[in-house]
Amino acid sequence: RLEFLAKNEHEQWCEYKSELGWTYADEKSNENKTNPKLREWEALDEETRQFNINTYKNLPRLCSSERVGLKIVKA
């Protein structure tokens, strides 16, 4: 489930960045609008995929912090 969520989020991020004119390149450049992570989920390195998965893994804790004050409810 966590990988599904992370993959879906990554795909949406890629779509959004592409709509803004960003493209894939080996080096990130804000000036040239290039990013090495702007590629399919399966083509990402394991470290990047795991970072995205861990974001969702830690989401309940992050949301419940005093600064955010949200509660995730399973429907």
Residue 75's pLDDT is 74
Residue with the bigger pLDDT between 72 and 46: it is 46
- The fraction of the chain above a pLDDT of 70, given in percent, is 100
Residue with the bigger pLDDT between 65 and 24: it is 24
DSSP letters spanning 9-69? HHHHHHHHHHHTT-EE-SS-BTTTTEETT-S-GGGS-HHHHHHHHHHHHTHHHHHTSTTT-
Q: 24-58: per-residue pLDDT in tens?
A: 999 999 999 999 999 999 999 999 999 999 998 99
- The fraction of the chain above a pLDDT of 90, given in percent, is 73
pTM over 0.85: no
